[in-house]
Structure 1
Amino acid sequence: MPLAGSDTLFAASAIDAARPMKIVIVGAGYSGIIAGIRFLQRVPNIKLSIYEAQAGVGGCWFSNRYPGLACDIPAHCYQLSFHEKTDWSSFYAAGPEIRAYLESVVDKYNLRPFIQLEHRLTSAIYSDATGKWNLTIQRPNKNLGVEEFEDSADVLFTGMGSLSRWKWPDIDGIDSFTGTLVHSANWETGEGDHNSPWEDTVRSWKDKRVGVVGVGSSAIQIVAALQPKVKHLCNYVRGKTWIASPFLGDRAEAFGMGKEESNYQFTDKDKENFSDPAYYKEFRRDLESQLNSIHVVTLRGHPVQEGGRAAFKEEMLRRLASKPEIAEHLIPDFAIGCRRLTPGPGYLEALCQDNVDFIPTEIKQITPTGIETVDGKFNELDVIVCATGFDTSYQLGFPVIGRGGVKLSDKYKPHPKLYLSIALDGFPNWFQSLGPNSAVGSGSLLILIERQVDYAVQATLKLQREHLKSMEVKPEAVEDWDVYLEHHFSKVKPFNFFNNIRTNPIGFQTVFSERCRSWYKQGKEEGRVVALWPGSCLHAARALEHPRWEDYNYEPLNGHTNRFFWAGNGTTVAEETPGADRAWYLSEVDYPPATPAPVPLH
């Protein structure tokens, strides 16, 4: 009987000999840093490059340096599962502290030799012939200004984030303003270098009239930070938003916090307690468990949603008591969580100060000297800060071309469709972190990022172990996930294909289908939810835990056709290496615990 497949039935190497692979990671924020660590740890025999467009590591925590920049979840929940920091200065850590934390992670795991700063990806084209991604990278050149070079990758992993491409607001006359015009995501005022604290850049603003446009997370933090440092501040607010009470849960009493305390500053005694590993482990686990328990607040009509809405409204009214007219314009009629929820320490208190005007009237135009609203009123300004968000279309601004010439820009119209928010048909050997539908409406974002990285690492190991040229998710798998996602966020919960139960197992619609302007829906009041994972962060962690390899199509390396080509020459690396451990399995024993026998099922 003749052999099935190619002339070479099996690989000439040992079954566990790892073929060399080139991995390229794009971005050196949380995603890229985690990916660099895990690829180097778990995938043998690789060449790794991390390309970062900016001049430093940290992603959004490097590019953003606006006044008041801080995390909007507790700092102890905004750190990696495997790299804990016990001396955070406050519950909501400031941006520079988070950036310093990320730099410490890079240094601990010796990633700097693999990171190339000021290297911007300008094109990515998949080669059907080679199964590789051909990349064009732009970098500075002291003689030419910039230069481009080419690279290639067996696996491409992108962690560019959904909030990395900022944009100016579409306001008539914005280019005519003769004062200082600055965007929150590109804080350049000409009064300090990138590494200077924001306080240095606004030190001369004490006699300035400042306008802040927006009421998102950035605007809320900026208003609170600038109010005591400027002569007068106008906050131009188009929409409404919920200002959350600081998330402390049951820990509030333990730290002696009352309602007046907006951002608890940890004492030396607190940090001493945190230096005890057992105490710290319990503290962090409890806090993160509480954070991951509030997913139900994103479900319309749920008692926790209704109770939270009433409590937030009462708290906002209390904090705006001296200017109750603001509450009429600021407190929403939509559910909490419909747009990004932020604690906003100090924001409402800043609005009540004498040197602040809250302006809910729509802007008509920006003139050379200030802002005019549609009611004909005009405010002269020396500085305008546009805290108006990002391009959330997921259009990257450079060509990404997959198998057969398919363009990513076309695949993302009218909205992005991905498989589990990580892979895309037509784009083999490419995995994403924080791409479309990767954000979370509640809970820990970092556990989702870690699981996305783990998934990409497992896929890479499969490509390496089985001598595969490519793996590409099946179009029908992408379509099925898209249907699941669409049902999860639908306005009307139809009965579905899961044994006649509702798509959401708890039986509620999500708040994200309500009418509110949000970057979750590409800045629109209504429409497709393109930013959020369809479920809780814990749901995402479980969904990504065990890849469904049957949802992919595979192409063999070097044309072999026997599915057991990967079995090699019948030996292992240990047997071919003098002095190697040939009883390695005794170091990998999984010892079962001595547990009681299970109760029989009846």
Structure 2
Amino acid sequence: MSEQFLPIAIIGAGFSGVLMAIELRKRNIPFLVIEKSEGIGGTWFENTYPGAGCDVLSTLYSYSFAQKPDWSRRYAAHSEIRAYLEECAERYDVRRDILLGTEVMAARYISSAKRWDVALSNGQTFKAQAVVFAVGQLNRPSIPEFRGLEEFSGVAFHSARWRHDCDLTGKRVAVVGSGASAIQFLPHVAREAKQVILFQRSPNWIIPKNDRILREGEKRLRKHIPLLMRLQRAWEYWQLELSFPAFLKDSTKGRKWEEACKATIASTIDDPQLRDALTPDYPAGCKRVLLSDDWFQTLARDNVEVVTSPIGEFCPSGVTTVDGVSHSIDVVIYATGFETRQVLAPIPIEGASKRRLRDAWKPHPHAYLGVAVPDFPNAFIMYGPNTNLGHGSIIFMLECQARYIGQAIGRLRRKKSVAIAPKRPVTRSFNADTQARLSRTVWGANCSSWYKGVDGVIVNNWSSTMLRYWWMLRRFQARDYDQW
């Protein structure tokens, strides 16, 4: 096993990791980005299912300092987003400091040396002054444990591990789950497969996406008049920012979303039983509000069936639901989301007191400003607990975090303090305020969602506006941290 010293280790090469690398390059701080996949992109490298794309406008789902005038559509597809990240890594000269195909097996803080030991899958161990965890929240597929699953003789895979070698033409395909990935790939599957059976646990509020290909004239205008592109981005930012009140309980905007969804269902679905099955019984926003232009039209196809009875067990030829009905199936595609409640798992992370992060985070993950945890010195998180959004672009939040963490690391490099971690009282106060604000939002309503922990505490979403988050992270405050 070889050992090397590394000033800053960044774990993950998706939007967060590349952004953090650019921030440190700007500050002339040496770093290494460690990525378990064979390519840059994070979730956009791993998710290659048909129709994969973003539900945030392309102008906002990109770095503010690296605007792209020639997006092909209003909402970019995964391949274009991944290409954009590759281009940014090259343009800002961080590609040469990204180690691909190497997984972090463990990270341990050594109090006596005031450093982190980062063990890699290739047998190396890096000794780092600081670690930035930029692994995101959507990287570990979640697959339910169904009885008899090992007996199924067909093909089964998760949407995030799409089997491109599996020809669906003429097949009977089961799609388990009706969330954000299903509404993107199921329309494509329905055009190929003989039959599609959607096993739906609960319906979603879905509003029109209004996606379209961008005209060449629009691209030329944005390329030759950069101010126009900046103004468009600013307009779109404020349109989303001003929609935050829709996520407060009993909001008027939320009811308008519900009305729009119901109107689309009424105009596309003739079967009254199917209409009822596709209409949620919880307030809009409690789960993620989804965008689609062809979801309900797809479910109205003759070769698509929606089943609301839960799966009871698998057998060699298919599944039987709890109501006793058997369904013959050739292929199962899981659209069951990701393990989002255990942030940073499964990496074993050990802090100053030799306590594992997963133990420190019981009963649920929490962090000061979503970026730092008491007793874990010189460790920072991108897209950490309570930093997800329901109303805007996560890229904005990541840029706030990158600047803040860059300031903190810059302070470390100037040796004004050798090790820092947020104070416990400050962290407790921040999280108490966050949860109090979240209690006034629709995310706390009676529905199950990936926003919540098993105890009902909202562990993923930010509690307020993007502007407020920017204000809180605009300047690193040393007084909020213990220093050694």
Scaled by the length of structure 2, the TM-score of the pair is 0.95
- Residues of 2 paired with 1:35 and 1:57: CA distance? 14
Structure 2 partner of 1:236: 199
1:273: Cα distance to partner?
2.5
Instruction: State yes or no: 1:510 paired with 2:441.
Output: yes
Determine helix, strand or coil for the equivalent of 2:173: strand
1:401 to 337, 350, 358: 350
User: Shift of residue 38 of structure 1?
Assistant: 0.6
1:224 lines up with 2:198 in the alignment: no
2:236 is matched with which residue: 281, 287, 298?
Answer: 287
Deviation at 1:348, TM superposition (A): 0.9
Quick one: which of 458, 464, 476 aligns to 2:425?
476
Distance of 2:401 and 2:232 partners within structure 1: 26
Which ranges of structure 2 fall in alignment gaps of 5 or more residues?
none
**Corresponding residue number in structure 2 for 1:39:** 24
Q: Look up the SS of the partner of 1:154 in the other structure.
A: strand
Is 1:214 matched up with 2:177? yes
Q: Which residue of 1 aligns with 2:57?
A: 74
Q: How far does the alpha carbon of each residue in 1:122-180 deviate from its partner, in whole angstroms, 9 at most, with x for none?
A: 111101111100110113xxxxxxxx111011111111011111122121122221111
Tell me which residue corresponds to 2:289: 341
1:553-599 deviation digits (Å, cap 9, x = unpaired): 111xxxxxxxxxxxxxxxxxxxxxxxxxxxxxxxxxxxxxxxxxxxx
- What is the alpha-carbon distance in structure 2 between the residues aligned to residue 476 and residue 110 of structure 1? 40
> Which residue is 1:297 aligned to?
246
| Deviations, residues 400-458 of structure 1 (Å, cap 9, x unaligned) | 10012111010111111211111000100001011211211111210100111111100
Q: Deviations 1:44-82 (Å, cap 9, x if unpaired)? A: 3x3311000000000000011112111011111111101
Answer yes or no: is 1:358 the counterpart of 2:289.
no
**Are 1:278 and 2:278 an aligned pair?**
no
CA distance in 1, matches of 2:251, 2:335: 32
Is the CA contact 2:341–2:452 (under 8 Å) kept in the aligned structure 1?
no
In structure 1, the residue corresponding to 2:51 is in which secondary structure? coil
CA distance in 1, matches of 2:322, 2:257: 35
Aligned to 1:550: 479
Aligned to 2:129: 154
Which deviates more from structure 2 when the two are superposed, residues 481-490 or residues 209-218? 481-490
- Give the distance between the partners of 1:134 and 1:554, measured in 2 at CA: 20
What CA deviation, in whole Å up to 9, does each residue of 1:190-234 have, x standing for no partner? Answer: x1xxxxxxxxx5xx3221111100011011112122111111111
- Aligned residue in 2 for 1:25: 10
Residue 134 (structure 1) aligned to one of 117, 120, 123: 117
**Secondary structure in 1 aligned to 2:207?**
coil
State the alpha-carbon separation in 1 of the partners of residues 302 and 257 from structure 2. Answer: 30
Aligned match of 1:186 in 161, 166, 169? 161
| Count, aligned residues | 478
Question: 1:61-210, aligned counterparts within 5 Å?
Answer: 61-139=44-122, 148-189=123-164, 191=165, 204-210=167-173
Deviations 1:270-326 (A, max 9, x none): 222322323322222222221222111101122222233223322332232x33322
Given the superposition, is the C-alpha separation of residues 410 and 268 from structure 1 closer, same or farther in structure 2, using an over 3 Å criterion? same
2:341–2:450 Cα contact (<8 Å) kept: no
Counterpart pick for 2:332 among 378, 381, 384:
384
Task: Indicate the structure (1 or 2) with the bigger Cα radius of gyration.
Answer: 1
Q: Is the 8 A contact 2:207 2:260 kept in 1?
A: no
Aligned with 1:156: secondary structure?
A: strand
Given that 1:123 and 1:399 are in contact with CA atoms closer than 8 Å, whether structure 2 keeps it comes out as: yes
* SS of the residue 1:107 aligns to: helix
In the alignment, is the contact (CA less than 8 A) between 1:243 and 1:316 conserved in 2? Answer: no
Identical residues among aligned pairs (%) = 31
Task: Please give the secondary structure, in 2, of the residue aligned with 1:553.
Answer: strand
Whole-Å Cα distance in 2 between the matches of residues 205 and 21 of structure 1?
A: 47
Q: Could you say what the CA RMSD is over the residues aligned between the two structures, in angstroms?
A: 1.6
Of 335, 352, 366, the residue aligned with 1:417 is 366
Provide the C-alpha distance between the structure 2 equivalents of 1:132 and 1:348, rounded to a whole number of angstroms: 54
Amino acid at match of 2:238: S
1:59 maps to which of 42, 47, 52: 42
Give the conservation status (yes or no) of the 8 Å contact 1:224–1:345.
no
| Aligned counterparts of 2:400 and 2:231: Cα–Cα separation in 1 | 23
How far apart in 2 are the matches of 1:154 and 1:372?
Answer: 54
Shift of 1:263: 2.0
1:265 deviates by 1.3
Conserved 8 A contact 1:411-1:417: no
- 1:374 is matched with 322
- The 2-side partners of 1:206 and 1:363 are apart by 24
TM-score (norm 1): 0.77
SS at match of 1:328: helix
User: 1:494-530: CA deviations, max 9, x gaps?
Assistant: xxxxxxxxxxxxxxx21011011110014x6x70101
Which of 414, 417, 434 does residue 383 from structure 2 map onto?
A: 434
CA distance in 2, matches of 1:538, 1:225: 38
Q: In structure 2, what is the equivalent of residue 6 of structure 1? A: none
Task: Report what 1:579 is aligned to.
Answer: none
* 1:245 to 2:208 alignment: yes
Distance in 2 separating the partners of 1:449 and 1:323: 44
| 2-structure distance, mates of 1:29, 1:307 | 35
Offset at 1:384? Answer: 0.4
Runs (5+) with no aligned partner, structure 1? 1-19, 140-147, 192-200, 247-261, 491-508, 556-602
Distance in 2 of aligned mates of 1:363 and 1:169: 10
**C-alpha displacement of 1:84:** 0.9
2:399 to 440, 450, 475: 450
Determine the C-alpha separation between the residues in 1 that align with 2:149 and 2:48: 22
Amino acid at match of 1:224: P
Cα offset, 1:181, TM superposition: 0.6
AA matched with 1:38: E
1:263 aligns to 2:211 (yes or no): yes
Question: Could you tell me how far 1:21 is from its partner in structure 2?
Answer: 7.3
